[in-house]
Chain A
Amino acid sequence: MPVKMILDCDTGVDDTLAILYAVLHEEVDLIGLGSVWGNVDVPTATRNCLHTLHMAGRPDIPVAQGAAGPISGGPLNLAYHVHGDDGQGNAGTGRDMGSPVAESAADQIIRLAKKYPGEIEIVAVGPMTNIAIALAMCPDLPGLVRGITIMGGAANAPGNVTEVAEANIWHDAEAAAAVFDAPWLVTMVGLDVTMNTLIDETHRERLNAGGTIGQYTSRILDFYFSFFEATSFGERRSCLHDALAVAVAAGTLVPELAPTVNAYVVTGEVQTRGQTVCDLRGMYMGFPAQEGAHCTVVLESDPHFGDQLVDLIAAAGDSAIPLDPEVAA
């Protein structure tokens, strides 16, 4: 039974791979995309969501545009230096494909949750602003969905944006805090596993050997690989942050170690803003149950997940839309 999924994303290079995985995998029933500010501004994220869906031959999946900035109204910190000015590694086509639906991302989540009570897994792979808005607009939301899986946080691993904070959480710590505290099942796919789930140039070669969708994917990874080479690994490779969250949510990747623990997000103007504090003190005894815990923290998973992802995209065939860069008129 494929998992019904709403994917909230700030598309983004790794978001693009995640959307493709969700569209292409038969175990996922992607029923809506929501766009959010984060890696790029929200109009760019919306445009990239639409482009990816059209490329994969699924223009029927609705894209709802969401929040343009953090919920507390703080400064906008975007990441064009990681994802390129177009959010596609500066290698996108520049084409506008289709339009977002009229309703907001938060409204789409609420409407679909009411339509399919208990079935939907929300997967949030950008800052959690839209989710926090949806919670405030629909207090019953936690009971209406199956759960929420997030790409974010770092339980044991260091942060990336700061020493202790991962980017999605840090960008909107207040929204993340609201998500972690709401009474639903939160699955946290954080840097503990994503920094170990890598693809490298051999994967790009396999993508290039696929259809035009695979080739496009390889193309947008070029800039992204350069960023990780310079900042994290010293070699040309990248993490698969967002796609990993989709796979865990869908059950197509079963984590090896994912205890359910009490967790919270540090908010406020402090050094540790955006830290995900997870109570892992039970690690010496195999993680006995913690009262009231509702956060499953993925600590270990198969580091070769990239093979599964790349095979899927390489086998996807050709794009339904032209992929040469659009020449400005």
Chain B
Amino acid sequence: MTAIIFDCDTGVDDAMAIMYGAGNGADFVACTVTHGNVPVTVGARNTLTVLDAVGLNHVPVHVGAARPMAQPLKTAEWVHGEDGLGNTNPTPSTRPLAGNLAAVEIVRLARERPGELTLVAVGPMTNIGLALLLEPDLPRLLPRVVVMGGAVGVPGNASQTSEANFWHDPEAAQLVLDAEWDLVLVGLESTMSTTLTPEAIDRLSRVETPHGLLLWNAMQHYMAIYAKPLGRLTCVLHDPLAIALALDPDLAEYRLVRVAMEMHGEHTRGQVVGDLRGYEPDPSDPLEPGVARIVTRLDLATFHERFLQSLGA
């Protein structure tokens, strides 16, 4: 079991990630919620609902940042539905939210259990950035961080050059990239290869577990949106890939790359600029600020199988 702090903006693929984690050895110590796919209040309610659906109704959910550090709030209901779960409006959980605010709880847990926890962040980085500002020693206390964000050497999705999570809060993303921790960056360069096969879709369509059904229904809207760029009814597993690699790093091979955020470009604010020129050998110290691991090879078949199994498909 891997002890995880899960920061999310639930969100259809966040729901997928929670279910993947629940079925693949995640010990959710806490969930923290950020603005992003939907406003933070909606995301918080959805996180509770999804946790309950997989029997994790003891996992506390902490509300976090309602907007980015330095730009106005933007959300993506057009992708995830008005309710953040594909407009299926499942019966919301009645569980209360936990007391501490997200960034405070991240710091508290890291101090309480130094070196034990893995942080998995699959929404905009605002809570993580706030936690870093509150606790400068956070990287030493939380040595492993896996983030769904960025697009290194591939086009973006929120803009031509930027992936959505980082585009929503470039200032926070910069804090995350610059921190001295072992950062795994799971960006569009790896997630876009996780498109579900027709066989996988077929298995999902016949799922009978209650949580599987909840997800299958929530996915309909999400797949319809992806049908246009992908050319068929399917979707991409951004957030599940991040948690999968946090739970089993051996699912992929990695390389260390120097990365930095473009903050000022007219077309490029929010872009992760990675140095892929090969003029110098790859950096050797993952803890160096501005250095992150990116995925070079992925065991896609195993990842897909574990995903389907976690839903009972």
Contact = CB atoms under 8 A, between A and B. Distances in A.
- Within the complex, are A and B direct neighbours (CB within 8 Å)? yes
Contacts of A269: 266
Contacts, number: 3
A268 interface: yes
Nearest to A268: B266
A222 to B, nearest CB: 42
A269 B269 CA distance: 12
A47 B266 CA distance: 38
Interface in B239-281: 264, 266
Contacts of A268: 264, 266
Contacts of B264: 268
Interface in A261-309: 268-269
Interface in B44-74: none
A268 B266 CA distance: 8
A269 B264 CA distance: 9
* Interface magnitude class on chain B: under 10
A269 B268 CA distance: 12
Interface string A240-280: 00000000000000000000000000001100000000000
A95 B119 CA distance: 76
Nearest to A269: B266
Contacts of B266: 268-269
A54 to B, nearest CB: 45
A268 B264 CA distance: 10
B266 to A, nearest CB: 4
A70 to B, nearest CB: 16
A268 B263 CA distance: 14
Nearest to A270: B264
A174 to B, nearest CB: 13
A269 B266 CA distance: 6
B8 to A, nearest CB: 33
B160 to A, nearest CB: 16
B99 to A, nearest CB: 40
Nearest to B267: A269
B310 to A, nearest CB: 46
A68 to B, nearest CB: 24
B1 to A, nearest CB: 50
Nearest to B266: A269
B67 to A, nearest CB: 20
A170 to B, nearest CB: 17
A33 B264 CA distance: 40
A126 to B, nearest CB: 26
Interface string B101-141: 00000000000000000000000000000000000000000
Interface in B194-210: none
Interface in B214-242: none
A282 B238 CA distance: 56
A166 B74 CA distance: 34
Interface in A11-57: none
A128 B176 CA distance: 43
3 contacts: A268-B264, A268-B266, A269-B266
Q: Which 3 A-B pairs have the closest CB atoms?
A: A269-B266, A268-B266, A268-B264
